[in-house]
């Protein structure tokens, strides 16, 4: 593969499968062991409309950023940004981002907007880059660790809690959320223009495991590829929507599975039921074994009560206190903004 650009002592390359080990070597300890890239790298190499850019200094890999074109060609989703530990704090992240933005705009002249998600935990370190973005919205993140072995007991415990709060007899199973298994139903719900308001999509986007997409036709195929398991509180005009992403391996605690549940809507009862239903489903499939890291992404108003709901003598241990996912956008059409940046 040929070099695609250079700037300030860095050369830029389009990543290939053979770069996997190099990429892993600059990814050690990223996101507290929660890094998704070891698992996703191969898929990224073949995903349509995705380009992964590598930055090298001499021949050594020092940085990576991925650009993924979504929203029917209008939006550049940037992900995976990382710089090797020895080169941090010297502006390398800025260099690779500037190059990747311009490279992607050349390949996809329809691009209008750049979007990214990040945790509020990183925000304070990146105020300068954040200042160029508009914040679209935020969600709270409830993060637990647990052991697959204890989950049957844990889920029975939660079901009992749900039954007792709804006054149902313990023998009666709790009212389930409605699975959305039919592609036609799912499509109608996602493309309903009222959806963003009814389920309070933050910034009007559906965020799937940190990837924010507008609920439009061109993104349905991307979501379908992700093999998600969807639930709504009702089929007609739902005001609560949730899905889980199939658990995948991460480095945390010597090797764990990461289980992400995304929720949209503010109804606490639906959030509790969705949590239990997702767990039941994923356990039926035998997908939660060994050490598990669970992240539930949800409306800020639900965090505290969901944390209390999940607290119990068995099951999950809170991994981190309240934290948030932030969704940000900026215009990429150059002009005045581009000029301002070069004068800084």
Ligand X SMILES: CC(C)(COP(=O)(O)OP(=O)(O)OC[C@H]1O[C@@H](n2cnc3c(N)ncnc32)[C@H](O)[C@@H]1OP(=O)(O)O)[C@@H](O)C(=O)NCCC(=O)NCCS
Where does this chain bind ligand X (CB under 6 A)?
A: 30, 81-83, 88-94, 97, 118, 122, 126, 128-129
- b/e for 272-297, b at 16 or more Cβ within 10 A? bbbbbbbbbebbeeebbeebbbbbbb
Nearer to ligand X, 123 or 150 (CB): 123
User: Nearest distance from residue 208's CB to ligand X, in Å?
Assistant: 17
Nearer to ligand X, 89 or 286 (CB): 89
Nearer to ligand X, 154 or 297 (CB): 297
CA distance 310 to 158: 7
CA distance 77 to 53: 13
Backbone phi, then psi, for 289, in 5-degree steps?
A: -120, 150
Place of tokens 């149902």: 168
User: Nearest distance from residue 131's CB to ligand X, in Å?
Assistant: 8
Backbone phi, then psi, for 203, in 5-degree steps?
A: 65, 15
CA angle 96, 49, 325 (to 5 degrees): 65
User: Nearest distance from residue 121's CB to ligand X, in Å?
Assistant: 9
Q: Give the residue at shortest CB distance from ligand X.
A: 94
User: Nearest distance from residue 139's CB to ligand X, in Å?
Assistant: 15
User: Nearest distance from residue 191's CB to ligand X, in Å?
Assistant: 30
CA angle 203, 209, 210 (to 5 degrees): 50
Nearer to ligand X, 19 or 148 (CB): 19
Nearer to ligand X, 122 or 317 (CB): 122
Place of tokens 């050349």: 106
Q: Could you give the residue ranges of the DSSP H alpha helices within 108-249?
A: 120-123, 127-131, 151-166, 183-191, 195-198, 217-225
User: Nearest distance from residue 165's CB to ligand X, in Å?
Assistant: 38
Nearer to ligand X, 90 or 237 (CB): 90
Place of tokens 């349905």: 220
Nearer to ligand X, 17 or 86 (CB): 86
Q: Which two tokens stand for residue 286?
A: 């035998």
User: Of how many residues is the chain composed?
Assistant: 344
User: Nearest distance from residue 176's CB to ligand X, in Å?
Assistant: 36
């Amino acid at each position: 593969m040929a070099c695609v650009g250079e700037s300030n002592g860095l050369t830029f390359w389009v990543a290939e499968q053979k770069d996997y080990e190099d990429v892993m070597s600059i990814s050690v300890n990223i996101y507290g062991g929660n890094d998704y890239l070891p698992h996703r790298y191969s898929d990224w190499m073949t995903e349509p409309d995705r380009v992964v850019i590598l930055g090298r200094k001499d021949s050594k890999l020092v940085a990576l950023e991925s650009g993924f074109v979504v929203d029917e060609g209008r939006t550049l989703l940037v992900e995976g940004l990382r710089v090797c530990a020895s080169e941090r704090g010297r502006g390398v992240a800025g260099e690779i981002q500037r190059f990747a933005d311009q490279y992607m705009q050349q390949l996809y002249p329809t691009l209008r907007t750049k979007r990214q998600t990040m945790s509020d935990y990183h925000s304070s370190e990146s105020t300068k880059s954040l200042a160029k973005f508009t914040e679209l919205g935020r969600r709270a993140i409830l993060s637990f660790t647990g052991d697959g072995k204890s989950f049957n007991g844990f889920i029975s415990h939660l079901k009992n809690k749900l039954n007792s709060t709804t006054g149902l007899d313990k023998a009666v199973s709790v009212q389930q959320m409605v699975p959305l298994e039919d592609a036609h139903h799912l499509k109608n719900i996602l493309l309903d223009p009222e959806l963003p308001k009814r389920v309070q999509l933050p910034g009007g986007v559906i965020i799937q495991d940190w990837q924010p997409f507008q609920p439009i036709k061109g993104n349905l195929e991307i979501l379908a590829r992700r093999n998600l398991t969807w639930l709504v509180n009702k089929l007609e005009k739902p005001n609560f929507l949730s899905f889980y992403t199939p658990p995948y391996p991460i480095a945390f605690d010597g090797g764990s599975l990461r289980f992400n549940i995304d929720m949209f809507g503010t109804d606490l009862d639906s959030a509790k039921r969705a949590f239990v239903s997702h767990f039941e489903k994923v356990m039926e499939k035998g997908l939660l074994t060994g050490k598990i890291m669970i992240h539930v992404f949800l409306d800020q108003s639900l965090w505290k009560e969901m944390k209390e709901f999940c607290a119990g003598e068995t099951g999950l241990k809170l991994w981190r206190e309240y934290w948030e996912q932030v969704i940000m956008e900026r215009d990429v059409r150059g002009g005045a903004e581009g000029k301002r940046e070069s004068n800084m």
